[in-house]
Chains A and B, each alone.
Chain A
């Protein structure tokens, strides 16, 4: 089972189990979605899966209205990048609604996120930091097949607007033999993706796998790197991060998004403020370059952190 199979199966489960769930997005009905995340669902659940016009603002407005009425819409943005057109409805309408009115708007926005070779500046963005900045939103960044499944189901069950960032690079590359559909880690808990003792890499989404790869390489040099998978960037489980830093004394915050501000800056800020005494070296960040995401595969591969650049960063961190 692949990461995108898990997303499809989670939506299948949601439609089957919860009559208040419906799916709304561009090309998601008969066509099954640009990435086939809704393949077959329109046929299996007539009147529950709808094609939307190319109107991200109105799609989100519709979701807010439906949420007010007690439905649980799941909105597919064709690419995370295009959610900028629906930004106003997400951050001003959906995110403020519960605080202002006391009426929750349970809606989920699926954002096919992150870069893939050749996708270019407008089909590659990582928007999690932008949405996490706004009060009133929950931002999920699953890195595993199991989390892709469970966090979508658990996210839809929340009464708040959920931004579900699914990484396109993981869609078909990441596989699991099967998903344990029983007990699983709830939203709000980070996970130790790889245990280690010399340094902590805090990552999320596809970067978890790059971090683990880097850790395997450094093992040959005798370094044992711990990798924390945040799972959700909001809420941010800083306790698990601090506990890891307490074990290792060193922190590298790793993200695929643009470098100014963002999740890695938040992690470093909080660890510096709350765990300064735990650090044996200045905390480090590694992000993408401060440019739009480039088109050419060679540029793209060098724009985001790679196992090589992660290893370099860790070696510098470990040398201090």
Chain B
């Protein structure tokens, strides 16, 4: 299905063939192949991605503290260990032009794509000034009209939504150079929504990138109970889309492979499926101690911290130095502190001022169900439950 005409793709394929083998419809890249392709990587890209990783880690550490102090209602879901994959995707996309549908562990990607830290702290802390105005929380946030749709909890569901946004742009004649991307986990690849969405995107040959962050556990369920193929990237051939693999703990590899996937989608090669191997270095949520992850998995290659790896890589490649990283860290700590403090000072949503209107339409004869009328004057908001 995929045309191998692009010269860069050919070059990558040649490297991959020596080390990792190829699939007929796409390129399987192993780590060394990715590193070989890194030679031409943009220094600014790496600095941007790294800074997003760092800010995300610092922000999420703060969220964890706030959760444990009882300051956040509902769950807290962190992307620790997945920042390299997330930041690489977010950095490869262009806000204002591209579509990015982040998922549960994409704080780094959101930051790289330009989401203000305040969006995060306001949504977690329930400020009415946040993008969701208290109507939805935590990682359910975004700006759909600006190319960042808001996830629902039903996994795999964003794949076809991104496809629809791209489909619409094609109909409007505004598709040139646009890419739509979304992230999902290994567990979501078992859903019908993932299958239907990716198949549809392939039929329409949409400029789309689906990044699977295979963190080895869907909540507590290991890969062996989730799929039976040797590697999820093998599915790319079945869908007729490009397929790429990457070590998700390696920022240089992620930048190269995900950057390549985005480039291919942008230049007409159709949907790309990227499977990143890594380990979630946290529970499913902060309520979960992840005690189901065996020690030998924590201790293996994918158990390493991608932020440590990235720090080393950026210093080694001269993209930055320790002094600058320290300054970035100080600056990020201050930005996070300010974003938390501001959100905490802002008002919570007021149930008395809530419109309680789920429809944009207004009718001459209002549908005045007694239930709706009662809730409009409901005296007591539901008590907060941690």
Report if A12 contacts B (CB, 8 A). no
Chain B residues within 8 Å of A67, by CB: 164
Asked whether B161 lies within 8 Å of A160 as measured between CB atoms, the reply is no
Q: Which of B221-271 contact A (CB under 8 A)?
A: none
Assuming A58-B193, A66-B164, A89-B157, is B361 touching A96 (CB within 8 A)? no
Tell me if B361 and A88 are in contact (CB < 8 A). Answer: no
Listed residue (A47, A48, A237) with the most chain B CB atoms within 10 angstroms of its CB: A237
Measured CB to CB, the nearest residue on chain B to A103 is B144
* Contact residues in B for A92 (Cβ distance below 8 Å): 152-154, 157
**Inter-chain CB contacts under 8 Å: number:** 164
B368 partner residues in chain A, CB cutoff 8 A: 238
Q: Using Cβ atoms and an 8 Å threshold, which residues of chain B touch A99?
A: 135, 357-358
A71 to chain B, nearest CB (A): 4
Given contacts A47-B171, A65-B149, A65-B168, contact A88 B360 (CB under 8 A): no
Min Cβ gap B318→A in Å is 41
| Measured CA separation A104–B158 after assembly (Å) | 17
Please name the residue on chain B nearest to A63 by beta carbon: B164
- Pair A101/B142 contact, Cβ less than 8 Å: yes
Do B367 and A66 touch (CB < 8 A)?
A: no
| Chain B contacts for A249, CB-based, 8 A | none
The total of chain B residues at the interface (CB under 8 A) is 50
Is B165 close to A, CB under 8 A?
Answer: yes
Shortest CB distance A232–B (Å): 9
Contacts of B369 in A (CB 8 A): 236, 270
Question: Known contacts A70-B168, A189-B365, A238-B368; is A65 also within 8 Å of B160 by CB?
Answer: yes
Chain B nearest CB, measured from A77 CB (Å): 14
Tell which of B154, B161, B162 has the most Cβ of chain A within 10 Å.
B161
- Within A23-82, which residues are at the interface with B (CB < 8 Å)? 47-48, 52-53, 55-71, 73
A61 vs B135: C-alpha distance when bound (angstroms): 21
Q: Kindly list chain B residues whose C-beta atoms are within 8 Å of the C-beta of A64.
A: 160-161, 164
> By the criterion CB–CB under 8 Å, are A138 and B144 in contact?
no
Give B151's nearest chain A residue, CB to CB.
A93
B364 near A189: Cβ-Cβ < 8 Å: yes
Contact B363 A187 (CB under 8 A): yes
Most B C-beta atoms less than 10 A away, residue of A57, A60, A64, A104: A57
A160 interface neighbour in B162, B361, B366, Cβ under 8 Å: B361
Please determine whether A135 and B164 come into contact, CB atoms closer than 8 angstroms.
Answer: no
**Contact B199 A188, beta carbon cutoff 8 Å:** no
Chain B 146-188 residues near chain A, CB threshold 8 A: 149-150, 152-154, 157-169, 171-172
Contact with A along B19-62 (1 / 0, CB 8 A): 00000000000000000000000000000000000000000000
Listed A/B pairs (27) with beta-carbon separation below 8 Å: A48-B171, A52-B200, A57-B193, A58-B163, A59-B200, A61-B159, A61-B193, A65-B163, A65-B164, A68-B161, A69-B169, A71-B172, A92-B152, A92-B153, A92-B154, A92-B157, A97-B150, A104-B360, A136-B358, A138-B359, A158-B360, A160-B359, A188-B363, A188-B367, A237-B365, A238-B367, A270-B369
Give the interface of A toward B (CB within 8 A): 22, 47-48, 52-53, 55-71, 73, 85, 88-89, 92-93, 95-104, 135-136, 138, 158-160, 186-189, 234-240, 270, 273-274
